[in-house]
Amino acid sequence: MPKDEFLELVKEIKENEKEFEITPRELLYFFGCEKRTSGNIAYINRFLNDNQLETSPNFVNGWMDGNIVLKHKKKATTKNDVDPIQRIKLLPSSNREPISINRDSSLKEAITLMMMHSYSQLPVLNSPRNVIGYVSWETIGYAVANGCQSKDVKDYINNDVALVSYETPLLEAISTIIEKEFVLVYKSDKTITGIVTIADISFQFLSVTEPFILLEQIENHIRQILNKKFLVADLKELCKIGEVERDIEFIDDLNFGDYIQIVGKQENWDKLNLAIERSHFIKQLDKIRQIRNDVMHFDPEGITQEQREDLIKMAKFLMELRRFN
């Protein structure tokens, strides 16, 4: 059993991810050993492995009194240390100070601003942190229908305005936005940072779902192009992983990498009888494969405009290609 002082080092490494600089001689001492015999090395290595520890460089090599680092074995980490929850602050509209109006403003000013910016409502604020309510075409209509002839905004205000924190999960906020038609977003200091409407949510939904829909269209077109052109046995042979045969029975069992693998061979390409240049087709297909990988990583910022255009163009190209083949 290692000495207690060494076990304390191990505890620090495991709990606090610390590293300690020691020498091979000191490491041997902690285990009650003096020399790096095969038995002693095996004993120490077994303990290190059991505790997911390592030395860098390996304590077996080098000078007995040279420096080595005792540390935890490298842990697998994610490349992107991002919040797994999509929050309302991700929306551009949450980060644009909303056009608002003061409660002492005129109704004419409110109507002018709503018409000029194609808004359905305007927040009524006395300061960036003081929300009074809102005016909208609806509040104005109800008031007028009930005989109100005032020229002041204050007589058309609805005080029932929904406020959500900048850190609110997007899914949690959506139900409120659907019910209220919009919400005002505030930061920790209570400053209003934006207004999010049903239209903003619809746009966000489109930006998230559009790549999936386009990718599905592209893949369905490719499957139709490959349909009934190859034997199942041929596909299994073409799509082996090393010597391991995959369970492929249908074209639908293939992926983008498989498509590239298949059309990469001239004899397979010839079977498709397509009147286009193979190299350009493969190049674009590989680009779509890479975009698909990005999409499947569910990046909250979505794909780039260039990637979106590549998907749209490829979907259109394949549709036209199939129309004439």
Q: What is the mean pLDDT of residues 289-296?
A: 88
Residue 298: predicted pLDDT: 62
pLDDT band at 224 (very low <50, low <70, confident <90, very high): very high
Q: What is the mean pLDDT of the chain?
A: 91
What are the start and end residues of each CATH 3.10.580.10 domain in the chain? 88-201
Angstrom distance (rounded) from CA 161 to CA 103: 14
Question: Lowest mean pLDDT: which of 46-60, 186-200, 261-275, 294-308?
Answer: 294-308
pLDDT of 193 above 70: yes
* Residue 210 near residue 218 (C-beta atoms within 8 A): no
The separation between the first and the last C-alpha atoms of the chain, rounded to the nearest angstrom, is 75
pLDDT tens for 103-147 read 999 999 999 999 999 999 999 998 888 999 999 999 999 999 999
- Map the chain to HEC letters: CCCHHHHHHHHHHHHHCCCEEECHHHHHHHCCCCCCCHHHHHHHHHHHHHCCEEEECCCCCCCCCCCEEEEECCCCCCCCCCCCCCEHHHCHHHHCCCCCECCCCEHHHHHHHHHHCCCCEEEEEEECCEEEEEEEHHHHHHHHHCCCCCCEHHHHCECCCCEEECCCEHHHHHHHHHHHCEEEEECCCCCEEEEEEHHHHHHHHHHHHHHHHHHHHHHHHHHHHHCCCCCHHHHHHHCCECCECCCCCCHHHCCHHHHHHHHCCHHHHHHHCCCCCHHHHHHHHHHHHHHHHHHHCCCCCCCCHHHHHHHHHHHHHHHHHHHCC
Q: What are phi and psi of 239, to 5 degrees?
A: -105, 20
pLDDT band at 80 (very low <50, low <70, confident <90, very high): low
Which amino acid appears at position 234 of this protein? D
Regarding predicted confidence, which is higher, 5 or 245?
A: 5
pLDDT tens for 154-177 read 999 999 999 999 999 998 999 999
pLDDT band at 1 (very low <50, low <70, confident <90, very high): confident
Residue 206: predicted pLDDT: 85
Domain boundaries 88-201, CATH class: alpha beta
Q: What are phi and psi of 241, to 5 degrees?
A: -105, 100
- Distant-in-sequence contacts of 178-182, Cβ < 8 A, 24+ apart: 181/120, 181/121, 182/120, 182/121, 182/134
* Residue 253 near residue 283 (C-beta atoms within 8 A): no
Residue 204: predicted pLDDT: 84
Angstrom distance (rounded) from CA 245 to CA 25: 51
Which pair of structure tokens corresponds to residue 32? 């009650």
